[in-house]
Amino acid sequence: MFIAMVKGSVTATKKHPSMTGARLLIVQPIDATTGQPNGFPQIAADVLGAAKGMRVLVVSDGRGVQDMLKTDTRCPMRLGIMALIDSPVGGK
């Protein structure tokens, strides 16, 4: 799991049926100790209502995303936002 900053969203009309209703957000992984961007932006599914500028916990667990989206068919998504971070980075 990693911490990322929400940068924006992605809209797609034509998509895999299992993704209907899923919000797709662009998240920039950050180094949790410094807050600096770390690596390429990714696209993650969200049901918690994450907004631009928020720090979120992103999980790379396809089954978890499937459970989260409560989809009937198998879902090809892998990244999901599992929590909205309260504390600043570093736990201080």
Partner 1 sequence: MIIAKIVGTVVATVKDAGFEGKKLVLAHAHVLKDGQLVPGQTVLVANDDLGAGEGEFVVLTQGSSARMAPSMKSTSTDAVVIALIDRIDANGQLVFKRS
- Residues contributing to the site for partner 1 (CB under 8 A): 1-3, 31-33, 38, 48-49, 57, 59-61, 63-65, 67-68, 80, 82-87, 89-92
Spatial separation of the C-alpha atoms in residues 28 and 2, rounded to whole Å: 10
Asked if residues 30 and 4 have their Cβ atoms less than 8 Å apart, the reply is: yes
Query: Nearest approach, Cβ of 10 to partner 1 (angstroms)?
Result: 21
Residue with smaller CB distance to partner 1, 1 or 10:
1
Terminal C-alpha separation, the chain = 19
Residue with smaller CB distance to partner 1, 43 or 85:
85
Tokens read off for 85: 């971070």
Query: Nearest approach, Cβ of 19 to partner 1 (angstroms)?
Result: 17
Residue with smaller CB distance to partner 1, 11 or 87:
87
Spatial separation of the C-alpha atoms in residues 62 and 92, rounded to whole Å: 31
